[in-house]
Chains A and B, each alone.
Chain A
Amino acid sequence: MKNRSLISISDYSKQEQIDLLDRAANFEQHPRRDILKNKVIASLFFEPSTRTRLSFESAVQQLGGSVVGFTSSDSSSVQKGESLKDTILTVSNYCDLIVIRHPVDGSARYASEVSPVPIINAGDGANQHPTQCLLDMYSIRKTQNKLENLDITFVGDLKYGRTVHSLIIALCQFNTRFHLVSPVELKLPSAVKRFIKEAKLHYEQYIDLTEVVAKSDIIYMTRIQRERFPDPIEYEKVKNAYNLRNNMLENSRPNLKILHPLPRVNEISVDVDSSSKAYYFEQARNGVFVRQALIASILGLIS
């Protein structure tokens, strides 16, 4: 992985993904060490994203590295009309690695082609968000002690949800049984279903969440994102489609865990938070270890 950018999860092989999860487990044991001392990481957030940015910055600082960058395009040279290429070429002079979040699809891939330093994609528009995918895989493996042969249920916006798409594609490597719960308007796109079919795996589609709770090892809830809807009326129709409450978990499997990429709005009731099956805040914590493992691997500081 040394010096290799991570733009899409499929840039890394299955073995490399598993190696990263193993290294992340090691960082979970020892998250604070000085291996990034004298290293500078640029954090270029062309659109705001508090969680992802803080998680990356915390990952770097806990390892003794420093962070330069900006938190929205208002405060950068983008305001002055600079091209992405020029920004990347300039910033690459100041750092060892660039973390980029950008609203345009494909911007991170392009950045990796012009940049002399490696790039980590922290979300490019509606396209990819591979570190979210890795932390989801890490959370599933940690709570189930395996990645193979699980019943994984995805709920909510399966059409526009980019984390859902990447995670489903990654899980196709692990003989997953997919349960897909969404309103008719927000079904999983056929381009993603194609991966499931090509892996010779099965999926079932549902509208009613209660049908599938009892047969899930993981329930992956998602927020229905207003900003992805071209038509506000379409959003109004589906925004309250799902609400997971604690009493719905009565007949669920003992090993069930509930995941959510956060932020949550109303799709998980707060009464679920105290359940031992709620895992979404620990999931966010795992993001730090996965990002530490990734940065340290790309910079060739661990093997």
Chain B
Amino acid sequence: MNRKRKELIVSALNNGTVIDHIPPERVFQVIRILGLDQTGKQVYFGTNLESKKYGRKGIIKISDTYFENEEINKIALVAPSATLIEIHDFEVVRKTHVVIPETIEKIVKCFNPNCITNKELISTRFHVIYDENGLLKLVCHYCEKNTSKANFVFV
């Protein structure tokens, strides 16, 4: 009885956003990228939860907060499988998937050790391209070198 009530408190979101299907090891990164560690709103998160689709997953719920596409898409690189659920007055009003944006800022380091972003205090900036095999690559705005997915180091 008692246990059930606790779950309810956590699950019930009057107004706000649920970010579901986050890879479990990326939950804290998503929190950081969206600045949820700085918000004054209520934030609940869970990780290593059971998921039918992915085995394990992470989930974040933020009350009284909605995200612009541009903002939420920042998490697409770390959590491409994430779903976004907007809740108004306990009702789901919108369900979307994150989309990888055309430019990526600040999140990833440039793989080129001789790039200016690895020498001076500058935020990284990349243009997203797909190679002939359809694999995502980031082209550095500064040194113009490619960083491939296998070499992503998150800032």
Number of B residues whose C-beta is below 8 Å from A? 18
From B114, B120, B144, contact of A110 by CB (8 A): B120
Asked if B73 is at the interface (CB within 8 A of a chain A CB), the reply is no
Asked if A106 is at the interface (CB within 8 A of a chain B CB), the reply is yes
Task: Give the shortest distance, in Å, between B131 (CB) and chain A (any CB).
Answer: 8
* A/B pair count, beta carbons within 8 Å: 50
Interchain CA distance A197-B131 in the complex, whole Å? 12
From B115, B121, B131, contact of A105 by CB (8 A): B115
- One digit per residue, 1 when the CB lies within 8 angstroms of any chain A CB and 0 when it does not, for chain B 105-119 equals 000000010111101
Asked if A32 is at the interface (CB within 8 A of a chain B CB), the reply is no
Find out whether the CB atom of A128 lies under 8 angstroms from the CB atom of B115: no
Which applies to chain B's interface (DSSP): helix, strand, loop or mixed? loop
Choose among B119, B121, B132 the residue with the greatest number of A CB atoms under 10 Å from its CB. Answer: B119
From B114, B120, B142, B146, contact of A191 by CB (8 A): B146
A105/B120 contact (C-beta < 8 A), A8-B144, A127-B144 known:
no
Asked if B140 is at the interface (CB within 8 A of a chain A CB), the reply is yes
Asked if B9 is at the interface (CB within 8 A of a chain A CB), the reply is no
The interface residues of chain A lying within 8 Å CB-to-CB of B145 are 105, 127
Find out whether the CB atom of A104 lies under 8 angstroms from the CB atom of B114: yes
Task: Give the shortest distance, in Å, between A266 (CB) and chain B (any CB).
Answer: 28
The interface residues of chain B lying within 8 Å CB-to-CB of A194 are 131-132
- One digit per residue, 1 when the CB lies within 8 angstroms of any chain B CB and 0 when it does not, for chain A 116-134 equals 0000000011111000000
Interchain CA distance A84-B119 in the complex, whole Å? 10
From B112, B120, B131, B143, contact of A84 by CB (8 A): B120
Find out whether the CB atom of A105 lies under 8 angstroms from the CB atom of B116: yes
A110/B142 contact (C-beta < 8 A), A84-B116, A105-B112 known:
yes
A109/B141 contact (C-beta < 8 A), A104-B114, A104-B115, A191-B146 known:
yes
The interface residues of chain A lying within 8 Å CB-to-CB of B131 are 190, 194
- One digit per residue, 1 when the CB lies within 8 angstroms of any chain A CB and 0 when it does not, for chain B 121-153 equals 110000000011000000011111110000000
The interface residues of chain A lying within 8 Å CB-to-CB of B146 are 191
State the A residues within 8 Å of B (CB): 8, 83-85, 103-107, 109-110, 124-128, 190-191, 194, 197
Could you jot down 10 A-B contacts, CB within 8 Å? A83-B120, A104-B116, A105-B142, A105-B144, A109-B141, A110-B120, A125-B143, A127-B143, A127-B144, A191-B146
